[in-house]
Amino acid sequence: MGRRWGVRSIASLLIFLLAALLTPVAVIGNWGHRTVTDAEQYIATVGPLASDPIIQQAVGAEVTKVIVEKIDTTALVDSFLGNFVNNSAINERLSGPIAAGVNGLIGQAVDRVLASPAFEAVWIKANTAAQKSVMYLLEGNPQGIIQRNGDQVVLDTTSLLKEVQAQIVASGLTIAANVTIPDTGNQVVLFETPLLGQIQTIYSFTSPILQWLPLLVAALFALSIALARRRPRVVLTLGIVLAVTAIILLLSMSSAETIAQDKLNAEGLGLALIAFWTTFFSYLVGGLQALLLLGVFAIVTGWFAGRSRYAAILRDHVCEGLHELGAVIPPVINTFVRSYSLFLRWAVALVLVFILTAVSGMSVVRVFWLTALGVLLFAAIEACNRPDREIYAEASVDEVSI
Given the DSSP bridges, would you call strands 152-156 and 146-149 parallel, antiparallel or unpaired? antiparallel
- pLDDT tens digits for range 284-325: 888 899 999 999 999 999 999 888 889 889 988 888 888 888
User: What DSSP string describes 234-297?
Assistant: HHHHHHHHHHHHHHHHHHHHHHHHHHHHHHS-SSHHHHHHHHHHHHHTHHHHHHHHHHHHHHHH
Q: At residue 399, what are phi and psi to the nearest 5 degrees?
A: -65, -40
Q: Residue 84: which pLDDT band, with cuts at 50, 70 and 90?
A: low
Separation of alpha carbons 310 and 16, rounded Å:
27
- pLDDT tens digits for range 222-261: 999 999 888 899 999 999 999 999 999 888 877 766 666 6
Per the DSSP assignment, residues forming a β-bridge with 154 are 147, 189
- pLDDT at residue 79 above 80? no
Task: Find the range with the poorest average confidence among 57-61, 118-122, 370-374, 387-391.
Answer: 387-391
Separation of alpha carbons 17 and 241, rounded Å:
10
Largest CA distance in the chain: 114
Other C-beta atoms closer than 10 Å to the C-beta of 165 total 21
- State the Rg of the chain over Cα: 31
Separation of alpha carbons 45 and 47, rounded Å:
6
Average pLDDT, the chain: 75
Domain ranges of the chain: 25-285
Q: At residue 155, what are phi and psi to the nearest 5 degrees?
A: -115, 125
What is the mean predicted confidence (pLDDT) over 137-155?
68
End-to-end Cα separation, the chain, in angstroms: 18
Amino acid occupying residue 290: A
Q: At residue 88, what are phi and psi to the nearest 5 degrees?
A: -65, -35
Separation of alpha carbons 148 and 156, rounded Å:
11
- pLDDT at residue 130 above 70? yes
| 3-class DSSP state of 311 | helix
Cα dihedral 52, 55, 56, 58 in deg (nearest 10): 150
Separation of alpha carbons 140 and 127, rounded Å:
19
- pLDDT at residue 119 above 50? yes
Q: Which residues of 260-296 are buried (b: 16+ CB within 10 A; e: fewer)?
A: bbeebeeebbbbbbbbbbeebbebbbbbbbbbbbbbb
Residues near 22 by beta carbon (within 8 Å), at least 6 away in sequence: 213, 216, 217, 220
